Chain A
Amino acid sequence: MISCWQGDYSDGRCAAATPVQLEITASGLQILSGRHVVCWPWEEIQQTQGWYEGEHVRLERRVPGSDSPFAEAVVVKHPAFLVAIHNIAGPAVRHLHHVRTRHVRRRLLPIAIGCTLFVIGISYWWGLPLLSRLAAARVPPEWERSLGEKMASALTQGMPICQASQLTQIIDDMTRRLGQATNQQDYRFRVRIVRSPQVNAAALPGGEILIFSGLLSQSTRAEQVAAVLAHEMQHVVRRHGTQALLHNVATAVLVQMLLGDASQAMSVVMQGAQTLGTLQYNRRQETEADADAFRLLQQADIDPQAMAEFFLIMQRVERLEQREALVPYFSTHPMTQARIDTLRGMQWLAKTHQPIRLPSGVSWATLARQCD
């Protein structure tokens, strides 16, 4: 084993390097230049270059007790130098890189890729939803109420709110009846009717619910609107809005952690994946809300058949407006037919339900259009 090598020495203060001879011993590295001999003990030596194929081997030594940021260094351009050091000095140089580990590194790479994909998958599909649920359960209801109020004000800014007293009275009565059936004290539900042709409703954290007048116009009886309210209330009670917010934030943090300095293209791909994941997450929440709303209607003694009726109306509207998602995977909600089928599969309690009382002489069709 060759123990003498040619290298370049720099003192850490000047750029110019001096050619030197290096001798590897069991206790350290001897540096010979002319008649000068210096010995660096292995424990004082750090390797700062030479971990990868083709790299020069650079060893530095900081004088113990010195607070100078500059270190003396020797550079050897032959990779076999490292092999020789390990062969001669053995355990004393465990802290220096061994060329053997490069092959191990290469072999471990496919395993690392597999592990990374596995951990990403587990984190995203299981870890994040669980964390979001746990975190959302610990968010105080007053924070949610405050957030929901601000979101409602922001969303309805510039949009007219319907003040038709008869209709809002009926909606408030429905809300109270359903609210009592939820058996919870944390949320007080407040429904605002927004004058807009959109056939939609939205639940915000803390109990704020928005119903668009377009949805009211499409309904054929009050119980159908009650079904929609029940669905939105379940989003509130289950804290879906807060969970979704936390889930989105956690996903964005995960994506940013993974990407770091990576490319714009990778960033676009990850954001696309994030969006698809969010859509799937939303569909799960919608299915939960459907099932819970069905049970809530039964508890409130309102005919749950109205829910299925309303889904059929929605299906007709979607087909008319060509809004039905071409591919279910890209939809925020489960396909309407799937929702109807889910309802049909649920347990229906055979009983007579108490209809929603309307003002005498006024039909629901007339009431529902008061906000058009």
Chain B
Amino acid sequence: MDQHEAAGQSFLVPSSQEEHTDTGSTEDTTGNGFERETHRYQLSVHARPGTLLGMYVVNMLLTLLTAGIYSFWGRARVRRYLYNQVELLGQRFMYHGTGLELFLGTLKLLALLVPFGALIYYKPPIGIAALYLGAFFFMPLAVYGSRRYLMSRMSWQGIRFSFRGSLLECYLNYLVGGLLMMVTLGLYFPYFRVRMRKYWMGNTWFGTLPFRYRGEGGGLARTYYRYVWKSIVVAAAMIGLGMFLGPKLVTNQTALMIVIPLAQLLFYGAIAAVWCFWDAAEQEFHWQHTTVDQVRFYSTMTGAELIKLRLKHLLILVFTLGFGFAWVQIDKIRFLFEHLDLMECPELAGVVQAEEGLQANATGEAAADILEVDTGLELGI
């Protein structure tokens, strides 16, 4: 810190105004042979695993002592901490949700579940069927509600994000997408992913700035079918190898008990490794087609890095019996943001708060939590 005096007062001035990673580079973005300087920015993560672990321990203790009531406040506390630790252009993100909102959202949801409970008590087969059907039909509502809630409670530079998509469009997307997936035996999958991404991203706003998504299903489909083919080839190769080596290795009961689980592990591991490359490719595609104002995104994640990351996390979790969860969670977030570049920074002068999309309660969030569904943030890891 530099220290200087002016007008008889002493005050501290930060020595560096910019704390972001700013690598200025030039590229021809006009197509006319003129070079325009493009700045590349990254989000930085300052979270400490020890702090997060301490938070989880305290949450666990208070949750036990309050028979579960504190868990909502604990969850809000963890989110607040994690959001506060992500920084862009010297400003940290913020989470504005409260434990009370999550608690009330869950109470409302439980009230909605009372009729199902009564039906299960008096007519169990009908009640259970109704519950499963209800869960199936409420899933899009849960994801929608959760997305609206989370976006409305997130801010940067004091400006709130929001999600303004329509619920009807959400249901139509899931219904049409689901039907097409069934009819095409899954071949529609990349189109469905793009469709949903367009819906989620295209209706997300930062204050008065809309996010835009320009991806088309065809662009992703080619990549997807390539990886489907690769995984079939890998699976066939593993089966062939198994049929060749199996009789040689499995000579007794003990060998069978060791070789079979190992073979299964290798088989599924090899398929999972192939799909790590797909995950990285999908993220690159989605981010490449996402913009907000003049900001473009670029994912530098590779399949090989993703394999290493997931393997590292698996080993940490296994050898710490799950207690390494705090390290894994922060490492995941750090990995994502280290591999996400922002080309240009937004023009903040014109960005103002927008009240639309901020009226969201936490009932959808509670439902998404119970149904364990993805909230559509799709961070890829």
Chain A interface (Cβ < 8 Å from any Cβ of B):
2, 4-6, 10, 12-17, 21, 48-49, 52-56, 58, 69-70, 73, 75, 77-78, 80, 105-106, 109, 112-113, 115-116, 119-120, 123, 150, 253-254, 257-258, 260-270
Contact = CB atoms under 8 A, between A and B. Distances in A.
Interface of A is mostly: mixed
B54 A109 contact: yes
A116 B124 contact: no
A110 to B, nearest CB: 10
* Size range of the chain B interface in the assembly: 35 or more
Nearest to A257: B68
A255 B274 CA distance: 34
Nearest to A143: B121
Nearest to B206: A15
Interface string B160-176: 10000000000000000
Interface string B60-86: 110111011001001100100100110
Interface of B: 1, 9-14, 46, 48, 51, 54, 56-61, 63-65, 67-68, 71, 74-75, 78, 81, 84-85, 90-92, 94, 124, 157-160, 207, 314, 317-318, 321-323, 325, 328, 346, 348-349, 351-353, 355, 358
A6 B328 CA distance: 37
Contact of B14 (A53, A54, A77, A260): A77
Contact of A263 (B64, B71, B78, B317): B317
Contacts of A5: 11-12
Contacts of B67: 257
A6 B6 CA distance: 13
A365 B14 CA distance: 95
B61 A112 contact: yes
Contacts of B54: 105-106, 109, 112
A266 B94 contact: no
Nearest to A56: B92
B159 to A, nearest CB: 5
Given A15-B159, A109-B54, A6 B352 contact: no
Given A78-B12, A120-B64, A15 B58 contact: no
Nearest to B323: A266
Contacts of A73: 158
Contact of A112 (B57, B68, B358): B57
Contacts of B1: 78
Contacts of A2: 10-12
B94 A49 contact: yes
B92 A55 contact: yes
Given A55-B85, A112-B58, A262-B322, 18 more contacts: A5-B12, A15-B349, A16-B351, A17-B158, A49-B92, A55-B84, A58-B92, A69-B355, A69-B358, A73-B158, A109-B54, A109-B57, A112-B61, A116-B57, A123-B64, A258-B60, A260-B63, A268-B322
Q: Is the interface of B mostly helix, strand, loop or mixed?
A: mixed
A120 B63 CA distance: 11
Contacts, number: 135
A273 B9 CA distance: 63
B337 to A, nearest CB: 16
Nearest to B54: A109
A257 B59 CA distance: 10
Contact of A260 (B57, B71, B321): B71
B372 to A, nearest CB: 11
A48 B12 contact: no
Contact of B348 (A4, A15, A120, A265): A15
A357 B46 CA distance: 81
B63 A258 contact: yes
Nearest to B329: A263
B348 A119 contact: no
Contacts of B51: 52
Query: In this complex, which of A4, A21, A262, A263 has the most chain B Cβ atoms within 10 angstroms of its Cβ?
Result: A263
A152 B157 CA distance: 63
26 contacts: A5-B11, A10-B157, A12-B353, A14-B348, A14-B353, A15-B159, A15-B207, A15-B346, A15-B351, A49-B94, A52-B81, A69-B160, A69-B355, A69-B358, A70-B160, A70-B353, A75-B91, A112-B57, A119-B64, A150-B124, A257-B63, A258-B64, A263-B317, A263-B328, A267-B322, A268-B322
